A and B are shown apart, each in its own frame.
Chain A
Amino acid sequence: MTVLFSVFLLTLLVITAIAAVQSRNLFVSVMLLGIFSLLIAANFLLLDAADVALTEAAVGAGISTVLFLGALALTFEREHRPTPHRWLSLAVVFAATLVVLYATFDKPKFGDPGAPVQVHVAPWYIEKTPEVIDVPNIVTAVLASFRGYDTLGEVFVVFTAGIGVLFLLSASHGHAAQRRPHNGDESKIGLRNDLIPRVVGRLLVPFILLFGLYVQFHGDYGPGGGFQAGALIAAAVILFALVEGEERTLEAIPRGALLALMVSGAMLYGLVGVAGIFLGGEFLNYSVLADDPIAGQHLGIILIEAGVGLTVTGVLLSIFHAFAARDRF
């Protein structure tokens, strides 16, 4: 049954991908990409990867759609004429597809218990998690503790990406505050004149924030964690910005606060690692953070997940504001 559903979803996925590439209207393409993300999230859920599904749904279908629309608002809705070298690109893509298809013949079959991924370190994680870390969600144990270095790297990738976008988008104009002199600008007042979306949007924001906090702090016990929570909280603030206008959002959470969120999250993660060294362990060894090693692991995981959440929220919102603050190119 799972295989049947998977094949169905993957077929829809291929159709959506082709449609997104085919469409000359970029707005349609963005919507199709959102559907693509939702479909792949459903597929992850079928494969029991609830954490990844949650991330994909929140980031892929939610935030990136908003960011794409922000980028479209700055440029044009319709694609330019295709470049003349289409046959060359088609040939390259075709050859690459053949190579990838050939490579799949060497891969283990779907659900094969003897596959390398099942027999390498995974059994050790499953066996040791209750003993060493003792959180019900093994994904969180692996992500935050066993593979803490990888997640540290991911947080710094997100942080660097945020800094990079801020540099690129705020480079050419230094007077963001003086731009937009005309009143009644759409992005300034948002949907404040539109009663129904405004009421419903304002109603939903606190619930989304609450759900974000739940996902943040419930990550040890169920699907969730800093990445998903950061995306959800950013989504709540972006919804507020859409219904109340960007200026009121910046009054509530100014740019400086967003930068502080970005920096403090990454710093918190790094400092938890350094604290491990000072307390006599290795970098990112949480066992020494408390008297009891397991309590130390719990404390460390909560702290670094908080760091992840802060950075992701700060970066996503900074990128959103950077897009929203620009005029057409």
Chain B
Amino acid sequence: MQVVLDIISWVLLTAGGAFVLVGGIGALRMPNLYTRMHAASVTDTVGAILVLGGIMLQAGLTLATIKLAAILLFLLITSPTASYALANAAMIAGVKPEAGRAPDTEHDS
């Protein structure tokens, strides 16, 4: 039983890590702000769910699992809100969503 849980947990953790990596690559490589946000949101949602799920299985039925569940719940509420606020601010600032390679609005890094 413990071995099965361990295997599931590691599969979840690895898959979560892969999604976070994909999100990171996307945030770097995508052509403009909105597509970058789209890529980065993978990290917040699927990545967070999988990684936190994996850790919860490692922790078992303890107080730590409840805390992790609370963290996941707050993440699932706050990160879409942050994404919305960011996209909304970009719209107000005049960054237009365009198909294809839109001119990058970032001045420098």
Contact surface of A with B, Cβ cutoff 8 Å: 19, 23-25, 28, 194, 196-197, 200, 203-204, 207
Contacts and interface: CB of A to CB of B under 8 A. Distances in A.
A19 B84 CA distance: 27
Contacts of A197: 81, 84-85
Contacts of B101: none
A25 B88 CA distance: 21
B109 A28 contact: yes
8 contacts: A19-B109, A23-B108, A194-B88, A197-B81, A200-B77, A203-B77, A204-B78, A207-B74
Interface in B70-103: 74, 77-78, 81, 84-85, 88
Interface residues of B, number: 10
A217 to B, nearest CB: 17
A327 B32 CA distance: 33
Contacts of A196: 81, 84-85
A75 B85 CA distance: 23
A200 B81 contact: yes
A204 B84 CA distance: 16
Contact of A200 (B78, B88, B107, B109): B78
B85 A25 contact: no
A25 B81 contact: no
A19 B88 CA distance: 27
B108 A24 contact: yes
Contacts of B108: 23-25, 28
A25 B84 contact: no
A311 B12 CA distance: 44
A19 B108 CA distance: 11
Contacts of A25: 107-108
A95 B81 CA distance: 47
Interface string B44-86: 0000000000000000000000000000001001100100110
Nearest to B77: A200
Nearest to A201: B81
A23 B81 contact: no
Contacts of A203: 77
A145 B78 CA distance: 38
A19 B109 CA distance: 8
Contacts of B88: 194
A200 B85 CA distance: 11
A194 B82 CA distance: 13
B87 to A, nearest CB: 11
A203 B76 CA distance: 13
